[in-house]
Structure 1
Amino acid sequence: MAPDRDTTRDRMPAGATATSRPRARLDQPRPPRRRILPEWDPEAFGRLSERIARFLGTGRFIVWMTVVIILWVLWNVAAPEHLRFDRYPFIFLTLMLSLQASYAAPLILLAQNRQDDRDRVNLEQDRKQNERSIADTEYLTREVAALRMGLGEVATRDWIRSELQDLVKELEHLQNGHRPEAVVFPAERSPGRDVDDR
């Protein structure tokens, strides 16, 4: 008896039981399951619902629906008795209008939900674009401020000329000479650009 148990244990892999099912391979796709309900493409159904909802919201739909209702009522009032299909209380017309309304409301809601999703995505993209624009504007503002600070420390020609004239005057006073003050660096003759300053 003991040898038989050992041979059975050798044949079965470790951890397997008699009731275990064969394992599916993970490197292969699962076989498609049969479904009882019909399958549809949600994107195509959403586009169709948007087209229907867009048509339901137009004046053309109201005109066509009014024409159909008037023809329905006139036919069932004025047609010969054996050709009338919906007598005076027009119960069948009421049923058809209720059926149309019961389908129109969910289609309109579905179209609105899809529009809300698109608006949410557009709003998120706009928010990210605004954040990038604000960051770029702040960077450019810092750069312009740095340039202004740098330009505030740059010496211009007029400033250097006035400083040198002041130094010459101080040198003349130090030499105790009472000579007339000569203009060492004459002012610019024209507001245009000097050839010598290149």
Structure 2
Amino acid sequence: MADRLDTPKEDRRVWRPRLDPDFIGRGAEAFARFMGTGTFLLYMTGFVIVWVAINAVALFGLRWDPYPFILLNLFFSVQASYAAPLILLAQNRQDDRDRVALEHDRQRAARSLADTEFLAREMAGLRIALGEVATRDFVRSELRNLLEELTPEREDERAG
């Protein structure tokens, strides 16, 4: 089958894995969300207590990181070196979402303002137009006035 000019060619480099561009961002948000919980603090505290207990007292005959706990310190440094950028990435993604939501809110507020101004102009136009039309109250008052004017004439006719 001949190549068609109206369809794009597929990339022939199949050796490169295709990753979702937001995969790392979603992972960073999940990581940041988990690190901000009491569960993470509880797990980390338990891990440190077990680590120190095993290495300080040589429980079970194990002792791979003696007292200054340099390996544990190295683990914390590595964790911090990955945690800080992942948390910043999660914050940047949240800032982007907040910026988009704020822009949508501004657009919605502008549309609401325009709709409100339009309705105010329409109501003003209706009031001006209705100012020239007889309203129910106006017609009733005119009928009462006419009835009052006619009522004395009838009494004069009965008396005469």
TM-score by length of 2: 0.77
**Are 1:106 and 2:85 counterparts?**
yes
Structure 1 residue 78 displacement after superposition = 0.8
Contact persistence 2:54–2:60 (CA under 8 A): no
1:52 aligns with 2:25: no
Identity %: 56
Which residues of structure 1 form unaligned runs of 5+?
A: 1-24, 166-181, 187-198
Cα distance between partner residues in 2 of 1:97 and 1:140: 62
User: In 2, Cα distance between the equivalents of 1:118 and 1:31?
Assistant: 31
Q: CA deviation at 1:82?
A: 5.2
TM-score, scaled relative to structure 1: 0.63
1:83 pairs with 2:80: no
CA distance in 2 between counterparts of 1:116 and 1:94 reads 32
Which protein is bigger by CA-based radius of gyration?
1
RMSD of the TM alignment (CA)?
A: 2.8
Q: In 2, distance between residues paired with 1:133 and 1:26?
A: 47
**1:120 lines up with 2:99 in the alignment:** yes
Aligned residue for 2:9? 29
Is there any run of 5+ residues in structure 2 with no aligned partner, and where? 153-160
Separation in 2, partners of 1:122, 1:185? 70
Q: Residues 53 and 59 of structure 2 are in contact (CA less than 8 Å); yes or no, is this contact kept in structure 1?
A: no
Q: Pick the structure with more helix per residue.
A: 2
Total equivalences in the alignment: 145
Residue 184 of structure 1 is matched in structure 2 by 150
Paired residue type of 1:92: L
Q: What secondary structure is seen at the aligned counterpart in 2 of 1:133?
A: helix
Residue of structure 1 equivalent to 2:110:
131
Runs of 4+ in 1 over 3 A off after TM superposition: 25-28, 159-162
Check the 8 A contact 1:161/1:185 in 2, yes or no.
Answer: no
